[in-house]
Structure 1
C-alpha cells in the first residue's frame, strides 16, 4: 500500500470542485468556499449555536490553511452573511417548542428562492448531508459571489417552474424584504423609552457594555465602552453564562443601570442586534448626529460604504438589488446598479435616518 501526502491546497481545490466553485489558486479559502463549507456544516450540525458552527469549520481547516489569525473573524463574518442572506435562521426567525434551545442557536433554512428585479434568481437555504439541492444541469449554472448564489434563466426557459418542481419554495420580494413600519426617529425612541420606563428596577449587572453616542458615528467599535458616570438611556449588551451577550436598552444613573429592557421585544421577527442597531440609529438622529454613509460612482454602479452595522432587513435590500463588495476604510460596502441607487439611497435616509457623509 502506498501512502501519498496530499497538500492542503489540493484538499481545498477538491472541496471547491465538490461545491461547484471555480478554481482560485491565489486565495483558495475565499468567501464562496467558506460559505459553501458552512452550509455543508449547517446541514450536519444545525440547530446549534453560532460558536459550534464556527468551531466545526475552524477544526476542519486548521491543517489546510496557513496561519491565518483572521480566519475566525472571517468565518464569523460569513455566518452573519448567511443569516442575512437567508441560508441560516436565528431563533427569532423561527417558532420552536423546545425550551432547551437557547436564543443564540441557528437553524438551516429550507431551500428557497427570490426573483430579483433583473430577472435573476437569488438562491438560499441548505439541505442535510448534501452540497447542493439542485441537479447538475442547474447547479452547474449557479454563480457564486461572496456568500450569495444566483442563477439566471436561459432564453425560452421557465426557470421558476423548474425550481418549484425541484422542491424549492418561492418567496415574494415583499415577504423577503419585509421591514418595520416607517416611523420618524423620535417616535421610535419614544416608544422604546416608554417600554423601558415600565420595567422593574435592575440589579447589579457585571461587564455591561454600552454604545456611547458621544463617540464618532464613523467608528463603530470605538463607540463601545464600559459605563463610568453616564446618565440617560443607552443601547447595551450584557453577558450571559452561555451564548452570545444579550442586547438591551438600559437607563443609567452615574454609570449604574437602573432599568433594563431586553431586545428584541416580544412578538417581533427581528433579532436583538437588528432592533438594537435600528434603535441606535434613532438615538443618533435625535441627537442631531445621524449615522453616516458614503457613496460614489464606479465603473459598474454606485458604491455605498457604511461605518456601522445595518439591520438584517436593510442589508437584504442592498443584497437583492446589488451585491456585497469588500469594504475599504469602512465596515460594510455594497455596489448597486445606477438605476437602483437613488431609490435605495432614499430608503436609507427615510427608514434608517442616515446622512450622506459628503453632506
Structure 2
C-alpha cells in the first residue's frame, strides 16, 4: 500500500485532470467541471463540497472553489438553471448542470473552449488539449496555423456559438427606466407582512468601489427599493429585490435564473448599477495605461454579459486596489468603455482622478 503525502496530492490530482503542474488553484476549475458531470443536477454547495473536501489536506479551499465555480457559471462552462420535470424529487429549485462542449471564436485563430466533455478533462483531442491556456477564467485555444480553425472544432463535435448568442447582452436603456421597470415588477409582488430573518441589503450610501463593505442589515428608518439577499434552509443565500418601509420589508421579489441562463446575481448587480447611477454615485471603471497595456479596474462584480464582452479583447486578472481588472496590449478599449457606460451606466475615471 502506498501512503500519499499531502505534498503529492496536488501533483496526482493534476495528472488525473489533465492539468499541467501542481498549483492547487489550477486544479479547481477542471475538478469542478468533472464533478458537475458526475453530480448533476446538483446544488452549488454540493458541488463545492465535493471538490473542496478531498483537497482539504492542502488547506481550506472552499472560498477559492466557490470563486472558481462562479467563473465557470459566468462564462458558460456550467449552467445555473431551474429544476426540470424528471429531476429526482429531492432536487433543489436551482441546480447546476454541465454545459455541452462548445466554442466561441475570439479571433480567426483563437477560440474560447466551453462546456464539459463528460469524464474527460477536455472535449478536445489530446494534442489540442495540451495547447489549451488555462490561465484566465475561461480556456483559450490558439491555433495560428489553422486556416479552417472553426471548421475543425465543429468536426470534433463542439457546437459553435455566435458571439451575440454567447454574450446575451440586454437591451440598452436608461438607468431611471431600468429602476422603474423593477419597481413595476416589485409592485406586482404580494405584500409582505412578516419579518425576513437575517435580511441584508446593499447600502446606497457606501461608496460603490467597496463592494464587500456595502452589505449590511436594513436600518430602522430606511425606505425604498433595495437589492438584497436572504438565507434559506438549504443552499446559498437567495438574491432578491425588496421594498423597505421604516426598515421593514413590505414587498419582496426573489430572483431566479432566467430561461436564457441569466443568473440572479447578474440581475441584481445590473439593478444596483442603475440605482447607483440614479443617485448620482455611478459605479466606476478606473483606466490606467502603461507602456505595454491598457487596464480597466473594477471595485465590484460585473454581470456575466459584461465580463464576456471584455474577455473577447482583454485578459482578466487579480490586481492590487481593486476586485479585478481586464488588460489589453492591443488597443485602448474605447469601445468597451463606451459599452460599460451605456449598459451599466458606469463612470470612466483615468488614473489620477480625471474623468
- Note whether the superposition's TM-score is higher than 0.5: yes
> Which of the residues 7, 12, 15 maps onto 1:9?
7
Map 1:285-304 onto structure 2 (within 5 A): 285-304=277-296
Q: Does 1:339 align with 2:327?
A: no
Map 1:46-61 onto structure 2 (within 5 A): 46-61=40-55
Residues 134/246 of structure 1: CA separation in 2 closer, same or farther (3 Å cut) = same
Superposed CA RMSD in Å reads: 2.1
Q: Does 1:151 align with 2:141?
A: yes
User: Where does structure 2 lack aligned partners over 5 or more consecutive residues?
Assistant: none
Equivalent pair of 2:257/2:263 in contact (CA under 8 Å): no
CA–CA distance in 1 between the matches of 2:181 and 2:324?
A: 29
Residues 288/118 of structure 1: CA separation in 2 closer, same or farther (3 Å cut) = farther
| TM-aligned CA deviation for residue 264 of structure 1 | 4.5
Equivalent pair of 2:33/2:77 in contact (CA under 8 Å): yes
Equivalent pair of 1:35/1:146 in contact (CA under 8 Å): no
Equivalent pair of 2:80/2:257 in contact (CA under 8 Å): no
1:209 corresponds to which residue? 200
> Which of the residues 19, 22, 25 maps onto 1:21?
19
2:217 corresponds to which residue? 226
Equivalent pair of 2:209/2:284 in contact (CA under 8 Å): yes
2:78 corresponds to which residue? 88
User: Where does structure 1 lack aligned partners over 5 or more consecutive residues?
Assistant: none
Q: Does 1:273 align with 2:271?
A: no
Q: Does 1:246 align with 2:238?
A: yes
| TM-aligned CA deviation for residue 79 of structure 1 | 0.2
Residues 327/49 of structure 1: CA separation in 2 closer, same or farther (3 Å cut) = farther
| TM-aligned CA deviation for residue 228 of structure 1 | 2.1
Equivalent pair of 1:104/1:243 in contact (CA under 8 Å): no
CA–CA distance in 1 between the matches of 2:319 and 2:171?
A: 29
| TM-aligned CA deviation for residue 20 of structure 1 | 3.5
CA–CA distance in 2 between the matches of 1:318 and 1:192?
A: 26
CA–CA distance in 2 between the matches of 1:272 and 1:318?
A: 20
TM-score, normalized by length of structure 1?
0.90
Describe the superposition over 1:176-229 as per-residue Cα deviations: whole angstroms up to 9, x where unpaired: 112110001000011111222222211321111111201111111111111122
TM-score, normalized by length of structure 2?
0.91
SS of alignment partner, residue 312 of structure 2: helix
